């Protein structure tokens, strides 16, 4: 740990950097990773993207040299991914992510618009099936990628604490709003965390009332500043005893 306090390496999705109205710059002090780091007297380096699953985070770790440069100085690893993995995905994720690459532009807009209109209806229909239908990333793959992230960082920084998040709740109209994939993913994440001594942030307990009560972003997915504050405090509380920061 440096004289400037602990460095938190945070892999995240848009819930790490999206506020009550819009996405914010990664260094916005109101975002929960920065609140957690500030409470510990340090700083956070946020590696995140819109819609990121655990697989996207693993890709960032293995492909982004800016992340490699951080690893020798990291004091704690925070895995704020896995929640988007649980969302209904009527179209296989690999195909859905190809929509922005479609040409010409007219075709891309037509396909994207059609998919966005169909997604809520398809999500509700699939939710009635055994298992709740396809999700962005199945729980066993989420856990596999989380563990790869953990092992890779601990290879460079052995012994540092690791914190992960349980998938949050949502009320997003764009997803039905249904969320049958959340409970199986939470079960898998808890089991993995128990095996690996990973500390967990229980996002449904921390921000469930905030989101479901309509106090977050109008999109029903992202949080208001009160939600960020609650998660930031919980993350700092989870790390404080092991970092020795008071």
pLDDT tens digits, 42-79: 999 999 999 999 999 999 999 999 999 999 999 999 99
**Mean pLDDT in residue range 217-225:** 97
Domain positions in the chain are 7-87+137-243, 90-134
Share of the chain above pLDDT 70, in %: 98
pLDDT band of residue 2 (cuts 50, 70, 90) is low
pLDDT tens digits, 76-99: 999 999 999 999 998 888 888 899
**Mean pLDDT in residue range 219-238:** 98
pLDDT tens digits, 10-45: 999 999 999 999 999 999 999 999 999 999 999 999
Q: Output the pTM of the full model.
A: 0.94
Tokens of 213: 């009560």
Q: Is residue 246 scored above 70 in pLDDT?
A: no
Contact assessment for residue 138 and residue 93, using Cβ atoms and an 8 Å cutoff: no
**Mean pLDDT in residue range 126-155:** 95
User: Residue 200: enclosing H or E segment and its boundaries?
Assistant: strand 199-201
Q: What is the DSSP string of 75-107?
A: SEEEEE-STGGGSB-SS-HHHHTTGGG-SSHHH
Question: Quick one: pLDDT at residue 60?
Answer: 98
Q: Is residue 174 scored above 80 in pLDDT?
A: yes
Q: Which fold, 7-87+137-243?
A: Rossmann fold (3.40.50)
């Amino acid at each position: 740990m440096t004289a400037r306090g602990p460095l938190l390496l945070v892999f995240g999705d848009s819930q790490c950097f999206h506020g009550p109205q819009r996405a914010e710059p990664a260094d916005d002090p109101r975002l929960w990773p920065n609140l957690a780091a500030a409470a510990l007297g340090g700083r956070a380096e946020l590696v995140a993207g819109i819609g990121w699953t655990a697989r996207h985070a693993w890709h960032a770790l293995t492909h982004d040299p800016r992340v490699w440069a951080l690893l020798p100085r990291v004091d704690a690893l925070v895995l704020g991914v896995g929640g988007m993995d649980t969302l209904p995905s009527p179209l296989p994720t690999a195909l859905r992510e190809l929509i922005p690459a479609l040409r010409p532009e007219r075709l891309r807009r037509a396909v994207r618009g059609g998919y966005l209109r169909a997604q809520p209806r398809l999500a509700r229909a699939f939710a009635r099936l055994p298992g709740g239908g396809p999700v962005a990333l199945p729980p066993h793959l989420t856990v596999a990628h989380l563990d790869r992230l953990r092992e890779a960082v601990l290879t460079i920084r052995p012994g540092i604490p690791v914190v992960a998040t349980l998938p949050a709740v949502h009320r997003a109209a764009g997803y039905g709003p249904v969320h049958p994939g959340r409970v199986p993913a939470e079960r898998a994440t808890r089991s993995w965390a128990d095996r690996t001594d990973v500390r967990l942030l229980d996002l449904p307990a921390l921000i469930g009332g905030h989101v479901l009560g309509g106090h977050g972003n109008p999109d029903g997915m992202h949080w208001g500043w009160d939600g960020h504050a609650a998660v930031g405090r919980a993350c700092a509380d989870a790390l404080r005893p092991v970092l020795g920061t008071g």
